[in-house]
Amino acid sequence: MAIIYNEKKRTFSLHTAKTTYQLKIGNLNYVKHLYYGATIQDEDLIYLVRRYDRGFSGNPYESLKERTFSLDAQPQEFTTQQQGDFRINSIEVQNADGSFSFNGRYRSHKMYKGAFTLNGLPTAIATENDTVDTLELVIEDSVTKIQVTLLYSVFEEADIIMRAARVHNGGEGEISLKRIMSVNMDYMNGRNLDLVSLPGRYGQERQVERQPLTHHVHKIRSGRGISSHQQNPFIALVDRTANEEYGSCYGFSLMYSGSFIAEVELDQYDQARLVMGINDRLFSYVVGPGEDFDTPAVLMTYTHKGLTKMSHNYHNFFRNNLNRSKFVKDVKRPILINTWEAAFFDFDDEKLVEIAKAARDMGVEMIVMDDGWFGKRDDDNSGLGDWVVNEKKIKCGLPKLVSQINDLGMKFGIWFEPEMVSEDSDLFRAHPDWAMEIPGRRAVRSRNQLVLDVSRREVQDYLIRSINGILDSANIYYVKWDINRAITDLWSNVLPADRQGEISHRYVLGLYRVMDGIIKTHPDIMFEGCAGGGGRFDSAMLTYFVQYWSSDNTKPLDNLKLHYGSSFVYPVCTMGAHVSTASPMVPIETKAAIAMCGTFGYELDATKLSKEEIEKCRKMSGYYHKFYDLNFFGDYYRLTNPFEPVNLVAWECVAKDKKKALLTVVTVHLTVNGPQEYIKCKGLLPNRKYRITGDGNEWTATGMALMHAGVPVPREIPEFTAFLYHLEVID
Ligand code: DGJ
C-alpha cells in the first residue's frame, strides 16, 4: 500500500516513489495538510505547525477561551466556509435554509487498490505496470450533513497524485454549490515561491510566464467555456531559485475542458494557498438530497529536481495513463497532409485525389479532408450541424473518394466541428431552440456561428448518431475534432430558471458523453483534437485525443516558442505540428525539423510544390520515421529558452536507455563574425562513447564531454538552418 494510515497519530502518508504527501486528522477533527515534498518516513510532521494568538483571526467555538487555534492560520486539506478562515476557499455552498456555512470535519475514510473514477468526467487510468492506491476521506458538516469526500489516487511509480472532491448532500433540502474546487493545497511557507503559467492567445498558445508570489490572490482563469488559448489549465509553483535541473517544483494539471480557475494566495503570514477547479463565475449547481456532485480531477506532481523532471513526470504519465487508444503507442501514427491551408473551402473530390497523389511522393501516408465537405459549406457562414456529405463537392460520394485514396496506398481522415451550428443550416431550421440564446436577446456571433446546447440529451444523441453515421459509411482512419469559438449566452431551454448556472458545466459533461459515444466506440480510428488551434489543449482532452492541433499559427519560428511552452506539461507525441508555406524565408527542411518536435505533417497544396521541394519533403518524412521512437517516446529536454534573445534554439529527445538521442538545433540569428556557439546535451550516459552525425561532420565523444563541453554548431551557414544531430552509443 502506497498509503499508510497511522491510527495512533491519525496521520495519512501517501507515498509515491520519490515523494510523500501527509495529512492528519487534527484538533477538533479538522483535517490538516502537513506536507508534500521529497520522501520522508511516516513520522508525524505536526511539529511544523505552530499556534499563536492571531488577532482578527477567529477561533472555532469549541476551542472556548483558547485563542491560538484559528483556521485562518492553519494548513488545511480542504477549506470550511465562514469558520474564521478568510483566505480563498475551496467550497462555497448555500444551504437549504439559505445560510452560507460549511464546517467540514473528519467523518470517515476508506482505502483501496486502484484509481478512483468520477461521474461523467475523465480520470487517469492505472495500467498493469502501475501500483495505484486510493484514499477517500470524508469531511462533514454536522448541522447540514453535507459531506465532501476528498479523493486521492497515488500513482506510485509515476510520482503523480490524482485528486478530486465529491460533494454529497446528506441533508433534506436542496443546496446550491457556488464554488467547489478540485484541490486545495496549503504551503506553510510560501514566501519564496514563483507561479509558472502558460498564457497565450489565438495563434500564440502556451507561452511561459513566471512571477513571484506577492501578497494578493493570483488568478489564472478561463471563462470562455473552453480551457482556452488565453490560459492553460496547468500551473506550477516552484522555488524562486528553481531552474531546469534543480529546485522544488509542484505541478497541477486540471483534467477539465471548460471554464476553470487556479488561484494562489500569499497570505498575511506568508503561507500560500492554491486552489484549482471549475470557474465559479456564472456557476451555481443545485444538488438535491441524496445527490452527489463530482469535481474534475487534478494531476499533481512534485520533484526537487527542477522543471525538466516535473515535465518528464507529466510526459511519462500522459503517455501511459491517460488514453488507451492503440494510436498512443502500439500503432505508428501516419504522416498526414491536411487540406485546410492548401485549399480552405475550395476543393472537390478530384482536387483531393490530386493533392493525395502529389503528397504520396513526399512520403505522406494520409490525407485529411478539413472543413467544407458537408452540408452547404462554401465559406464559414453556413452548413455547421449538417453532417451529410456535400455531393456538389464530393461528387463521387464519400466511400468512393476514400477508396480512391486507399488505392493510392494512403489513409483517409476527416474533419468535424460537432458542437456548433450555423443559422443557415437544416439543423438550425429544424431545431432553432438547440442553439444557446438567452430568451429576449440575440446571442453573440463568433465566426458567424452559434453554440449548440450540448448539455441537452437530444443534442448529444443527434451528434453521436449523425457523426457515427459518417464514420461508419467509409473507411475512415482519422478524425480531427474542432471547435472554433468561445462559449457565450449560456442558456438551456430545458432547464428551469434556478438551474441556468449549471449550463457551463453540464455542457462539458455533455461533450464528454458525446466523445464517449463517438471516440470510445471507434477504437480503430485515430482522433486529433483542435480548437481553432490549441484552444482546448488539456489533460482531459488527451484522454480522448492522442494528439492535439497545437496552433493555427504554422510559422516555424513562432512554433519554437509554442513547443517550448507546451513541453512544460505536454509530451511531443501530443502536439500537432505541420509544415506549411508560412514564412517563405525559412527552408522547408528547417520547417520539418521544427514540426518534428510535434506529431509532424504537412498543411499545404502538394500539387504546387516543385520537384526539388517534393524531394526535400520526402527526405524529411524519412527522418520522421527514423526518429519516431526518440521523438514520441524519448525524454524531451529544453536546452535553450526561445523567449530569451538567443541565436540558437535547441532541444533534445533521449531514448529511455540513453543510448540514442536526437539533438535539434535551429539558428534563429547569426551575428556577423560572431563567436563559436556550443550546445550542451543532457540526459546522456556520461561514460559511454557516442557517434555524432548531423552537420556534415562525424565524430565521437563521451556523454560526459557532450554534456559538459557541448556540441559546436557550425557558423558559416544560411540563417534559419536546422541541424538534426543523431547521437548513438558505439562502445
Ligand atoms: C480551425 C483549425 O484550427 C484549422 O486547422 C481548420 O481546421 C479550421 N478551423 C477549419 O475551419
What are residue 48's phi and psi, to 5 degrees?
-70, -20
Q: Quote the ligand 1 centre to 340 CA distance (angstroms).
A: 7
As a residue count, the chain comes to 731
Q: Quote the ligand 1 centre to 384 CA distance (angstroms).
A: 13
Which helix or strand (DSSP H or E) is residue 20 part of? Answer: strand 19-25
What is the percentage of the chain residues whose pLDDT exceeds 70? 100
Query: Checking phi first, is residue 447 left (phi over 0); if not, alpha (psi -120 to 50) or beta?
Result: left
Per-residue confidence band for 671, with pLDDT thresholds at 50, 70 and 90: confident
What confidence score (pLDDT) does residue 66 get?
A: 85
* DSSP-assigned letters across all residues of 365-389: -EEEE-SSSBSS-SSTTB-TT--SB
- Work out which ligand 1 atom sits closest to the CA atom of 480: 7
What confidence score (pLDDT) does residue 709 get?
A: 98
- List, for residues 442-481, the tens digit of each pLDDT value: 999 999 999 999 999 999 999 999 999 999 999 999 999 9
Which set of grid coordinates corresponds to residue 303? 520533484
> To which residue does cell 458567424 refer?
448
- Work out which ligand 1 atom sits closest to the CA atom of 370: 7
Closest CA to 205 of 603, 724, 551, 706: 551
Closest CA to 276 of 214, 208, 195: 195
* Side-chain-side CA neighbours of residue 406 (13 Å): 10
Q: Which residues contact 253 (CB under 8 A, 6 or more apart)?
A: 233, 234, 298, 299, 314, 538, 539, 569
Q: Quote the ligand 1 centre to 256 CA distance (angstroms).
A: 22
- List, for residues 76-113, the tens digit of each pLDDT value: 999 999 999 999 999 999 999 999 999 999 999 999 99
CA gap 360, 424 in Å, rounded: 37
| Cβ atoms of 487 and 227 closer than 8 Å | no
What is the average per-residue pLDDT within 134-145? 98
Name the residue of 205, 530, 548 whose CB sits within 8 Å of the most ligand 1 atoms, as the mutation to test its pocket. 530
Which set of grid coordinates corresponds to residue 348? 472537390
DSSP single-letter state for residue 171: S
What are residue 682's phi and psi, to 5 degrees?
-140, 160
CA gap 589, 585 in Å, rounded: 12
Concerning whether 407 is annotated as a catalytic residue, the answer is no
| Cβ atoms of 149 and 135 closer than 8 Å | no
CA gap 672, 682 in Å, rounded: 29
C-alpha distance from residue 607 to each of 345, 346, 355, 604 (Å): 17, 14, 6, 9
DSSP single-letter state for residue 524: T
Examine the pLDDT at 155 and tell me if it is beyond 90. yes
Closest CA to 391 of 405, 406, 376: 376
Name the residue of 369, 377, 384, 549 whose CB sits within 8 Å of the most ligand 1 atoms, as the mutation to test its pocket. 549
- List, for residues 272-310, the tens digit of each pLDDT value: 999 999 999 999 999 999 999 999 999 999 999 999 999
Q: Which residues contact 323 (CB under 8 A, 6 or more apart)?
A: 542, 543, 544, 545, 546
| Cβ atoms of 109 and 6 closer than 8 Å | no
What confidence score (pLDDT) does residue 562 get?
A: 98
Q: Which residues contact 65 (CB under 8 A, 6 or more apart)?
A: none
What confidence score (pLDDT) does residue 359 get?
A: 98
- Work out which ligand 1 atom sits closest to the CA atom of 344: 10
Examine the pLDDT at 633 and tell me if it is beyond 80. yes
What does the buried/exposed string (b/e) look like for 662-696 if buried means 16 or more CB atoms within 10 Å of the residue's CB?
bbbbbbbebeeeeeebebebbbbbeeebbebebbe
- List, for residues 566-585, the tens digit of each pLDDT value: 999 999 999 999 999 999 99
CA gap 148, 166 in Å, rounded: 5
What confidence score (pLDDT) does residue 542 get?
A: 98
Which of 194, 482, 538, 605 is catalytic? The answer is 482
Q: Whose CA is nearest to atom 1 of ligand 1?
A: 532
Strand stretches in 406-556, DSSP E:
411-416, 420-421, 450-451, 478-481, 526-529, 547-549
Q: Whose CA is nearest to atom 9 of ligand 1?
A: 532
| Cβ atoms of 86 and 55 closer than 8 Å | no
Q: Whose CA is nearest to atom 10 of ligand 1?
A: 371
Strand stretches in 450-599, DSSP E:
450-451, 478-481, 526-529, 547-549, 575-576, 579-580
What confidence score (pLDDT) does residue 178 get?
A: 98
Q: What is the largest CA-CA distance in the chain?
A: 87
What is the average per-residue pLDDT within 323-334? 98
DSSP single-letter state for residue 413: E
Q: Quote the ligand 1 centre to 417 CA distance (angstroms).
A: 9
Q: Quote the ligand 1 centre to 293 CA distance (angstroms).
A: 35
Q: Whose CA is nearest to atom 11 of ligand 1?
A: 371
- Average pLDDT over the chain, rounded to an integer: 97
Q: Quote the ligand 1 centre to 589 CA distance (angstroms).
A: 24
CA gap 453, 436 in Å, rounded: 5
Query: Checking phi first, is residue 608 left (phi over 0); if not, alpha (psi -120 to 50) or beta?
Result: alpha
What is the average per-residue pLDDT within 205-216? 98
What is the average per-residue pLDDT within 559-572? 98
What confidence score (pLDDT) does residue 64 get?
A: 76
Residues paired with 317 in a beta bridge: none
What confidence score (pLDDT) does residue 714 get?
A: 95
CA gap 576, 580 in Å, rounded: 13
What confidence score (pLDDT) does residue 435 get?
A: 98
Helix (H, G, I), strand (E, B) or coil at 501: helix
- List, for residues 373-395, the tens digit of each pLDDT value: 999 999 999 999 999 999 999 99
CA gap 535, 231 in Å, rounded: 9
- List, for residues 526-539, the tens digit of each pLDDT value: 999 999 999 999 99
Task: Give the strand pairing for 711-713 and 677-679.
Answer: antiparallel
| Cβ atoms of 727 and 684 closer than 8 Å | yes
Taking each helix axis from N to C terminus, what angle separates 457-471 and 503-518, rounded to the nearest 10 degrees? 30
Q: Which residues contact 197 (CB under 8 A, 6 or more apart)?
A: 208, 209, 220, 231, 232, 234, 235, 236, 262
Which set of grid coordinates corresponds to residue 217? 490572490
Lining residues, ligand 1, CB within 6 Å: 340, 370-371, 415, 482, 484, 530, 532-533, 549, 552
- Work out which ligand 1 atom sits closest to the CA atom of 549: 3
| Cβ atoms of 234 and 251 closer than 8 Å | yes
CA angle 269, 14, 120 (to 5 degrees): 95
Closest CA to 152 of 34, 15, 303: 15
Which of 349, 552, 558, 635 is catalytic? The answer is 552
DSSP single-letter state for residue 54: -
CA gap 222, 230 in Å, rounded: 7
Examine the pLDDT at 346 and tell me if it is beyond 90. yes
Which set of grid coordinates corresponds to residue 313? 513526470
What confidence score (pLDDT) does residue 63 get?
A: 87
What does the buried/exposed string (b/e) look like for 93-108 if buried means 16 or more CB atoms within 10 Å of the residue's CB?
bbbeeeeebbbbbbbe
Helix (H, G, I), strand (E, B) or coil at 429: helix
What confidence score (pLDDT) does residue 389 get?
A: 98
Q: Quote the ligand 1 centre to 595 CA distance (angstroms).
A: 18
Query: Checking phi first, is residue 88 left (phi over 0); if not, alpha (psi -120 to 50) or beta?
Result: beta
Task: Give the strand pairing for 298-303 and 160-169.
Answer: antiparallel
CA gap 480, 314 in Å, rounded: 24
What confidence score (pLDDT) does residue 187 get?
A: 98
Q: Quote the ligand 1 centre to 718 CA distance (angstroms).
A: 33
What confidence score (pLDDT) does residue 65 get?
A: 81
Q: Quote the ligand 1 centre to 533 CA distance (angstroms).
A: 7
What is the average per-residue pLDDT within 403-422? 98
CA angle 22, 28, 29 (to 5 degrees): 45
Examine the pLDDT at 439 and tell me if it is beyond 90. yes
> To which residue does cell 480531427 refer?
480
What confidence score (pLDDT) does residue 670 get?
A: 87
What confidence score (pLDDT) does residue 260 get?
A: 98
- Work out which ligand 1 atom sits closest to the CA atom of 415: 7
C-alpha distance from residue 75 to each of 51, 251, 439, 454, 532 (Å): 11, 19, 46, 40, 41
| Cβ atoms of 8 and 22 closer than 8 Å | no
What confidence score (pLDDT) does residue 432 get?
A: 98
CA gap 656, 544 in Å, rounded: 26
C-alpha distance from residue 196 to each of 19, 264, 556 (Å): 21, 11, 24
| Cβ atoms of 161 and 250 closer than 8 Å | no
- Work out which ligand 1 atom sits closest to the CA atom of 338: 5
Examine the pLDDT at 716 and tell me if it is beyond 90. no
What is the percentage of the chain residues whose pLDDT exceeds 90? 97
Concerning whether 239 is annotated as a catalytic residue, the answer is no
Examine the pLDDT at 1 and tell me if it is beyond 80. no
